[in-house]
């Protein structure tokens, strides 16, 4: 028996642009379509693994020397686990594993690790509240991330007494879209909401809009935390929305609520 289609969907006909990296962009766009939206993906940050080098290989081979290993994203965790497959037939013991956010922890859990993660929240600030990371007298910590990133975790842990090693496994860059694609996605499509889940993504979007002459002032921007919302406000963009979590369902629900609120004339944004 076929499941009847609901009479109305929360985002029926809404135009949503998802600027997450792939494959997350296509997955989230599909969730928006399930809610009735016309959703398109235009990643404004792409990622690629760094070439294998002796320094990285040495850090992986010395992994059992670390008491704590932190992955900052699902992508970072996935690359780390590929290295483990190549160089560690058995996962080293005695390590406390951590994932920044539920998605990162899920990647590590699927591999058979038992990562610690914040009970609530998905940011570096939330991770640093874990009691296991409060007192680190000379403990060795490995931080797995991209080539560039926020210095909050290493700086904070070093102040707490840790000896932190940063292991970059990938680089981020802005994809190069031709003029026709830029105009199609911003000017012709004219999205009502744009998902920008990092400061780097937001900066790239602002630069892209300036190049195309597209005005973002009336566009709802989905951002991950208040820090990025403030970044948007400093750029003159005040319509921001912070989902309760970065789960696809939570992002879709937050956009539906905020667009409905704006339709009602309240103008409320978080």
Kindly report the average pLDDT of the chain as a whole number: 92
* Model pLDDT, residue 20: 96
Q: What is the pLDDT of residues 39-86, one digit of tens each?
A: 999 999 999 999 999 999 999 999 999 999 999 999 999 999 999 999
Q: What is the pLDDT of residues 172-193, one digit of tens each?
A: 999 999 999 999 999 999 999 9
Read off the pTM.
Answer: 0.88
* Model pLDDT, residue 5: 47
Which of the four pLDDT bands, split at 50, 70 and 90, describes residue 233? Answer: very high
Q: Which secondary structure element, helix H or strand E, spans residue 194, and what is its range?
A: strand 193-195
What is 49-172's CATH topology?
Rossmann fold (3.40.50)
CATH for the 15-45+176-263 domain, from 3.40.50.10090, 3.40.50.620, 3.20.20.80, 3.40.640.10? 3.40.50.10090
Helix, strand, or coil (residue 247): coil
* Model pLDDT, residue 9: 86
Per DSSP bridges, beta strands 163-173 and 38-41 are unpaired
Q: What is the pLDDT of residues 111-151, one digit of tens each?
A: 999 999 988 778 999 999 999 999 899 999 999 999 988 89
From-to residues of CATH 3.40.50.10090 in the chain: 15-45+176-263, 49-172
DSSP 49-100: EPPP-HHHHHHHHTGGG-SEEEE-SHHHHHHHHHHHHHH-SSPPSS-EEEES
């Amino acid at each position: 028996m076929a499941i009847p289609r609901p009479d109305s969907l929360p985002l029926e006909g809404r135009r949503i642009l998802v600027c997450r990296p792939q494959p997350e962009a296509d997955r989230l766009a599909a969730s928006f379509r399930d809610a009735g939206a016309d959703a398109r993906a235009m990643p404004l940050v792409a990622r690629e693994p760094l070439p294998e080098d002796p320094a990285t290989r040495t850090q992986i081979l010395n992994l059992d020397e670390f008491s704590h290993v932190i992955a900052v994203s699902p992508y970072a965790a996935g690359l780390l686990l590929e290295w483990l497959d190549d160089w560690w037939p058995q996962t080293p013991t005695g390590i406390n594993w951590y994932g920044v956010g539920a998605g990162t922890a899920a990647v590590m859990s699927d591999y058979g690790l038992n990562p610690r993660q914040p009970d609530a929240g998905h940011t570096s600030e939330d991770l640093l509240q874990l009691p296991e990371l409060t007192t680190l007298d000379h403990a060795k910590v490995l931080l797995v991330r991209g080539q560039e990133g926020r210095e909050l975790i290493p700086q904070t842990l070093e102040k707490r007494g840790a000896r932190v090693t940063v292991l970059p496994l990938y680089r981020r860059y802005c994809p190069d879209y031709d003029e026709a694609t830029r105009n199609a996605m911003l000017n012709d499509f004219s999205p009502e909401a744009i998902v920008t889940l990092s400061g780097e993504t937001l900066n790239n979007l602002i630069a892209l809009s300036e190049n195309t002459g597209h005005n973002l002032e009336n566009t709802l921007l989905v951002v991950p935390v208040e820090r990025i919302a403030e970044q948007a406000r400093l750029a003159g963009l005040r319509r921001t929305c912070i989902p309760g979590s970065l789960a696809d369902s939570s992002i879709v629900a937050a956009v539906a609520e905020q667009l409905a609120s704006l339709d009602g004339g309240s103008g409320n944004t978080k």
